Amino acid sequence: MQVLVIGSGGREHALAWKIAQSPKVAKVWAAPGNAGISEVAESVNISASDIRPLADLAERKRIDLTVVGPEVALTLGIVDEFERRGLRIFGPSKDAAVIEGSKVFAKNLMKKYQIPSGFFQSFYRAEDARRYIQDVGAPIVVKADGLAAGKGAIVCMEVSEALDAVKMIMEERVFGDAGERVVVEEYLDGEEASFLAFTDGETVLPMASSQDHKRVLDDDHGPNTGGMGAYSPAPVITESVHKQVMKRVMIPAVKGMAAEGRRYKGVLYAGLMIKAGEVKVLEFNARFGDPEAQPLLIRMESDLVPILEAVVEGRLNGKTIEWKSGPSVCVVMASAGYPGPYEKGYPITGLREAASEPGVLVFHAGTSRKNDQVVTAGGRVLGVTAFGRDIRDAIAVAYRAVKKIHWEGAHYRTDIGRRALDRTS
């Protein structure tokens, strides 16, 4: 069969790499892809948000299955367009992807179906949001309602910071139309973790646990990013916490979406805050996490393609996934200035040397080719991902590979996986 992967990030490189290993797959296509994806798939220069041209491509190339990476394509209705043409595609419909596309929708869903989360209010007028913040005080979290590439949540420890966040989102529109409405919600303390599961709208098949590192700097300092690294499994997700998440979060969310007439098929991602063994939901995402997909997929022993097909065809019941017992770690290498403005086009050296490290895979995110040279083309450039005997070994292997890669202004966190290390040492 032929499979098309939509997107151009590290998540999509990991998906293309994993899908290409399936004995069921003869060829992998990617749109638009990147310099790394082109090594395992044939790339076509069509943007992930150009829905009709992508559907035309799938028809023209007789693609048997399309897998969607980015949330923007899902919220634009790519699944609806493909299904209207009789094309098989993995991901939620536009109506279901709203669980990520609108934080207000997600918070209301959680409230209605008693999924544990923090208190919240939403506002269309900045002055109303400011008045509410003055009433409730800080710490508080201010979020753009719409999609903001993982950067739209601002944790504010002081009232003045929250008021500035409202101004930035609603008046300065740093996140564009995503800031038409804001959500002001409870600040939740504890340890964050990511919980991803496949679902066909009825059955929920959990993946291994993982933990993302959102802040740009070590020790969780600096602004939020799309993610500066991740590891799997996350020791904070104990067996009892896992059962709690399935019973109180994942299954109610899937059942709730079905009850709302928005049957959810694809990957459902819950961002969790865990404190003293109790779980609350920070957000839902409608797709594989990035960078969580990278450490998850290199730990996945099972063939991914039959799982994707089972989700699309509504026959996930009875399916299982085998995982490697050892942990994996992904360290994101980013451009200078990220998550703010950054320059592109810097030549990258050391890629082959890093990839030659045993247990290492270098997943490309913001890269392209220029005169046969791989150059930077995004904020998050690479996801250096390593598998190890234990978490200490996986961290050491990942950073050994990271140190072999260079370009002007490259930066990365040096503490990815430290929480897992603390819990297991």
Q: Taking the CB of residue 262, how many other CB atoms lie within 10 A of it?
A: 19
Q: Which residues of the chain have pLDDT under 70?
A: 150, 425
Residue 425 has a pLDDT of 64
Q: How far apart are CA 143 and CA 271, in angstroms?
A: 14
Which two three-digit tokens encode residue 111?
């409230």
- What architecture is the 328-424 domain classified under in CATH? Alpha-Beta Complex (3.90)
Q: How far apart are CA 349 and CA 374, in angstroms?
A: 8
pTM score:
0.94
Please report the sign of the dihedral spanned by the C-alpha atoms of residue 21, residue 373, residue 217, residue 145: negative
Residue 244 has a pLDDT of 97
Residue 148 has a pLDDT of 77
- CA-closest candidate to residue 388, choices 380, 378, 379, 398: 398
b or e along 68-96 (b: 16 or more beta carbons within 10 Å of the residue's beta carbon)? bbbbbbbbbbbbbbbeeeebbbbbbbbbb
- What architecture is the 2-93 domain classified under in CATH? 3-Layer(aba) Sandwich (3.40)
Which two three-digit tokens encode residue 99?
């669980």
Q: Which residues pair with 153 in a beta bridge?
A: 143
Bridge-based pairing state of the strands 2-7 and 27-32: parallel
Q: How far apart are CA 385 and CA 229, in angstroms?
A: 9
CATH code for the part of the protein at 191-313: 3.30.470.20
Bridge-based pairing state of the strands 140-144 and 120-123: unpaired
Residue 147 has a pLDDT of 83
Where do you find CATH 3.30.470.20 in the chain? 191-313
For residue 84, what are the contacts with CB-CB under 8 A and spacing of at least 6? none
Kindly calculate the radius of gyration of the chain based on its CA atoms and give it in whole angstroms.
20
DSSP assignment of 32-88 equals E--TTGGGTSEE----TT-HHHHHHHHHHTT-SEEEE--HHHHHTTHHHHHHHTT--
CATH topology of domain 119-186: Dna Ligase; domain 1 (3.30.1490)
Where do you find CATH 3.30.1490.20 in the chain? 119-186
